[in-house]
Structure 1
């Protein structure tokens, strides 16, 4: 879910193209009358007898994986979902003759803030101009073919969105709600009843009174097949052999770092002379020394204490210029650090109130005030802030025209080079608490310095702790030995117990899964589990992405549609028990005709619920009971109901008061609210309906 959310948040202009080569009409047709075609290849899928080309699919997967920094299978699944959606919708568009014109495309583009705020697409008045945009695209075609090709990949998706909007608008326009339906909704929300009731909870009836047989359980499953549909799955047990650095590997690396801390003299076998070699503590060329000895280049950014290695931050921060500390461990790295410099108050935190004017850098096009008018307003706010410094956040929230307005003007911490020069100079020379007025290219800033921290500069020699070749070979030998013994014995867990290895067991691995618990990106392993030649009991070794191996054994094969009886049995028993308990309670208490009689016989209290509406199906103290509440609105006053089966028990209810809401002259507001809810539902349910009726052949597992 997290991955899908990231993609949806991206703008239309930058969104991954899923409709490429699927739509007959493209924006380029608006510009130059041409459209694109795709070459054919073996299908990775078939939607309603239409093949999805493998070449296209692979290109989209590569683009998605690269652009969004996600795994291959995440990209495969994302592309599949969006590509099948685009294909199904496009087939529906063609069947209905729906097409998108220039106006619909322009409307889609105008919904994207990154496009309409791009200066290259704005006219002299500072507003987005579709004509300028189309001219820009035509220039790309002539001057930058690669950029134009990238655009053509994006334009298909925009056209698809435009067509989808037309299609959904047509459906929404046919789903009106009448005044009568609005009236029903009004009374459903506003009519109220007061209830008295006695609840006989199911969980107070002993399970031991009932004994559902396997035959009854199977009959229940057969009569509720839609609730127990299953995909093809596999179960596996496996042992992980991580390739981790040993203590000896870490000690060897520590020795190497110790060696370069100080200047040393070494004998040169080539020149037959001794060489003096600079150390970190004596070198005059820090950048070159770090470049030569460290895995990461020299970082000239000053750091606060909070940005230093947490465990050693106090030590590093209190060093003096020239001091060398280490080696010390920071995560999976060993470091040696030389202290270079300290800046007092070098990290500054400030808040500001920005007042812009027409012509200022990045000013809102709607701002029409002059520089003089902005100066006057800023000085007025400056005086208010000086008189009442504690009100600065409120002043910023109400008056600032900068992006930090919603945060009371707070800019957070910054250092030299991160702010425009005049702004930083004022903050740098001011004490904490000072308020001032500064003009920059962005406008006039009323500034309050709120905090300062010292920052330090260190030169760090960084080495990642990795296993040596000897350690890697030892892990490989243990893995291979374990694999061969497991193949021979046919029992991976038995061999694992012999060596005291931890065995992990995973059920319900699906065909397109990629990750196992604490074992990411194991697509090769999952593919092997589903291969026709892989039998229960087979064992195989696989490499781990971040180093090491996993030895796996297939333990169970569950075909598609097959219900694992033992797995679902406990849940089914609970459903059967609920029905049998309801029948039991209805039978033994059938003679009771009043709440007092039932309450007395069962030692229950008569409970009450006030102002109950049909809209809210929660019965206070009992849980969600829509059928019980619905029955209440059909009862006469002060007339006890018969015993009624609910979700959590059996009930007898009695309505003690009814309040029918006053009639209204018009119920159009309620009808409109229903229409809005329906419009939202249509956005999701229409595709679900089309997808359920489509014939889709999914061959992803053959290629990924």
Structure 2
């Protein structure tokens, strides 16, 4: 039992939150109003039908609830096949559990249903008493009748009873909970000698033949992804503002009315290096991206020219310009990037920062404190604000006019000329990043990507701040980069590899010396290089070294303070020779404070594992047929 809990201990919080979310959206919105006898079957479970309407409405309501509870969540994550499969899995589980309840003769009584509903805070009046009026009003808000809600609530209670019956024998003792607490809370420190690949770069030679051989063997790494060129007319306040007339009197009146707002906000001037990676990429791709940014960060911190590093390594559009972003204020960048940039001092380089675009390393070149503007200083900004206000009033009219012309067969260029604006033709851009670059949904981006060259999207595309009419100009297939362009990157990669190999060889010599017959003399030889880490736990984030699961496992399994028999290569290439310094037991005082918490968590976790095994057994013995797998894509 404890082995199961140990393997899953680090995921407890996620599991608990996820279970709460699932319960909330099932309970709050119900299912009994979703059945449709004429609706096509999405799946069947032992002959019981799950309709398309059941799935789609549960999916919509789950998505809405998660968006409300986590507004910063990347919306693409709740449109993935994985999320849709999770929704279907919940529906299948409900069918199986209700069937099991019927087999076992388990059913929630009328009294239990009434008492459960009356206890819900959402159905109580200002005095905290159940109110029939509040109850009925709340149900009207989710378009359900009392009979539908009560039938569904009865199902929820019935499912709870089945789960309780299954999990009841799964309680753990205090001794078992303490054992788990001790295991999770234990820490360790290590003594170590670190060998850096960079220390051997001056010994490394890389020939042109090696570069060419590496390039040929790894061409998949140096492919320019498929790109597209688009032409569009944007109907947003910002895009249409330049076509508006703003008088000096309007500017002055705005300034007088908004003097308190006329402040120059805090700004930073920065460069960045971006290693692109998406949340939907495979784990292997994510790991390689992280390894790559860690190496770039190490080189930047070591003093290499940041702009040159950006030209050589950045996947972002600012890469050819040395990662130059210019001046920007708060709200201009995604939150994680902004937080990191504004936390830096002038001249500082950030550790790798993760956003939805990938991994960034940021250099802050300068900073400006906020100041109050004069009319002369603010006039251009005010002109832009007024122009955008005027433009926003014309968006619908211009969009309607443009749609009439699009339907009649006119192309984007001709439409733009007739309504008095200039179309924009993009530079070639990666097709996979259309959504991020143009601010449209992933579905719209796929639709635009699928257009034939010369064809236009037949309806407006929603983008950040408004809409656009768009047509494809050109498809550019994936091509291999020129060797000369990527040669500096390959040289560094090979230099890293050779440096790491030499570092590993040196580390192996150190291990042999520290564990050999003259270990005492070797310990004196390397004494000046031996450092002691700060405490770390089984998660394996070792201060100043990084995360290594193999090293962490070896340290916590060590029975004494002998040097470990193998060196360990850390993220970024650092090679470490290590030994256990000491194990630090979990605190007795903390156990006394958290005893009830750990008892509850140990019980909850093991009960979840018991239920999961029960559901797995039900699923394996069930006849489950998914008739419409396309709906899960």
**TM-score normalised by L of structure 2:** 0.47
Q: Which has the larger radius of gyration?
A: 1
Structure with the higher helix share, 1 or 2:
2
